């Protein structure tokens, strides 16, 4: 290798070292956040190990005295860590043991093989690992709609398609230095794409989380007031244009403060989470549930009139009465009070919600565990039917 090639190689390695060191610093900063990204610990290990790989490679370029290919062995271990990190981030844990054994065999084989055989074995294992990483990244990219994971897929495709080129170069140039350099170049470009993809994926995840926090209740996952308004923009516009009815159910857990005082906040939170899950299971996909505050819930029902809203409210009331809510240590029997209202084709969300909340107050005044509407006297539903 000429002096100019040495200088370019060292400049290239220094650039990779700076990028990797910066990535480690960013990963360390993210680790101190309240909710670190999934797989952050393993990605930090990957970036740290990559830093060591580039240092070892720099030493090899400078001395050319190593009898075994330490950078290649370290690259195999490092990319296996990348596979574990991407698996943790994408919640795909299949294939860890087989790929781990394959990497171990490749590392042991490096002690007994030489020349082109070592290069072929290492590149084959690296390509296999990147295929697995690419599959994990594709799954997360599709499920989470995250472009950052798509960049990691590009890195995997680059490695899988580029590795055969390095061996084609080896066969056509008589075994000179271009083939290992091409392999090293592919790995460094892929590594840079992984860094960019991971950072992009984390940023997009944080943006998605912030957007969800602004429109969704953090405990139950239901919409909050702002999310309710956003979700109902189209249904309200359709109801106003077509003059269709819309109904609402306001509901509250009876004597909720007593539950908080008798147990603890964790138990009461679990009750609210169980109630939210039950509501989701009983309503239509077009219905919009929300948690307003505390133990106050609201369900807006497009294309519902007062009578159909009463039927759904009774179904919810009976389901809760006959199914104790799950607490931290045991199941706690609870009941609901519910208020219902409709807007008679006015498509006024604020007026509809206020009417349902006033009906809820009537139900609580009537003795709890009942349904009331502003259209008439409070209604008490029992297994025998409706009593006025």
At residue 23 the predicted structure's pLDDT band, cuts being 50, 70 and 90, is low
Q: Which of 206, 196, 210, 54 is nearest to 137 (CA)?
A: 196
At residue 135 the predicted structure's pLDDT band, cuts being 50, 70 and 90, is very high
CB-based burial, 250-268: b 16+ in 10 Å, e otherwise: bbbbbbbeebbeebeeebb
Given CATH 3.30.70.270, say whether it is the number of domain 225-387.
yes
> How many Cα atoms are found within 13 Å in the side-chain-facing hemisphere of 139?
15
Q: What is the DSSP string of 204-228?
A: HHHHHHHHHHHHB-TTT--B-HHHH
Percentage of the chain with pLDDT > 70? 75
* Residue 210: how many other CB atoms lie within 10 Å: 9
Give the start-to-end residue ranges of the domains of the chain.
Answer: 3-215, 225-387
> pTM for the whole thing?
0.58
Write down the mean pLDDT value for the chain.
Answer: 79
């Amino acid at each position: 290798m000429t002096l100019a090639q040495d200088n370019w190689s060292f400049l290239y390695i220094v650039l990779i070292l700076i990028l990797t060191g910066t990535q480690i610093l960013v990963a360390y900063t993210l680790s101190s956040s309240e909710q670190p990204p999934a797989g952050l610990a393993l990605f930090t290990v990957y970036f740290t190990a990559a830093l060591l790989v580039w240092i070892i490679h720099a030493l090899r370029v400078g001395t050319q005295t190593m009898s075994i290919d330490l950078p290649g062995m370290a690259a195999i271990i490092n990319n296996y860590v990348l596979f574990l990190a991407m698996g943790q981030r994408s919640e795909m844990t299949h294939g860890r043991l087989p790929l781990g054994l394959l990497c171990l065999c490749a590392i042991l084989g490096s002690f007994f093989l030489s020349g082109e055989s070592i290069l072929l074995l290492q590149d084959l294992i690296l390509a296999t690992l990147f295929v697995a990483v690419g599959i994990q990244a594709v799954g997360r990219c599709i499920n989470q709609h995250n472009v950052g994971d798509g960049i990691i897929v590009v890195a995997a495709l680059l490695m899988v398609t580029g590795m055969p080129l390095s061996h084609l170069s080896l066969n056509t140039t008589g075994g000179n230095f271009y083939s290992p350099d091409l392999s090293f170049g592919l790995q460094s470009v892929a590594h840079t794409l992984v860094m960019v993809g991971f950072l992009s994926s984390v940023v997009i995840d944080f943006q998605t989380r912030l957007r969800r926090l602004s429109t969704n209740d953090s405990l139950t996952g239901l919409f909050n007031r702002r999310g309710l308004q956003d979700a109902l923009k189209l249904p309200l516009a359709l109801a106003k244009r077509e003059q269709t009815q819309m109904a609402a159910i306001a509901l509250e857990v009876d004597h909720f403060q007593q539950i908080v005082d008798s147990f603890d906040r964790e138990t009461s939170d679990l009750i609210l989470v169980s109630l939210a899950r039950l509501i989701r299971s009983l309503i239509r996909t077009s219905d919009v549930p929300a948690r307003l505050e505390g133990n106050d819930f609201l369900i807006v029902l497009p294309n519902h009139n007062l009578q159909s809203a009463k039927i759904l409210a009774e179904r919810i009331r009976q389901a809760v009465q006959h199914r104790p809510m799950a607490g931290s240590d045991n199941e706690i029997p609870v009941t609901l009070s519910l208020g219902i209202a409709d807007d008679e084709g006015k498509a006024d969300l604020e007026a509809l919600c206020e009417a349902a909340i006033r009906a809820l107050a009537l139900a609580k005044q009537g003795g709890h565990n009942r349904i009331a509407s502003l259209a008439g006297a409070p209604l008490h539903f029992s297994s025998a039917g409706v009593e006025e």
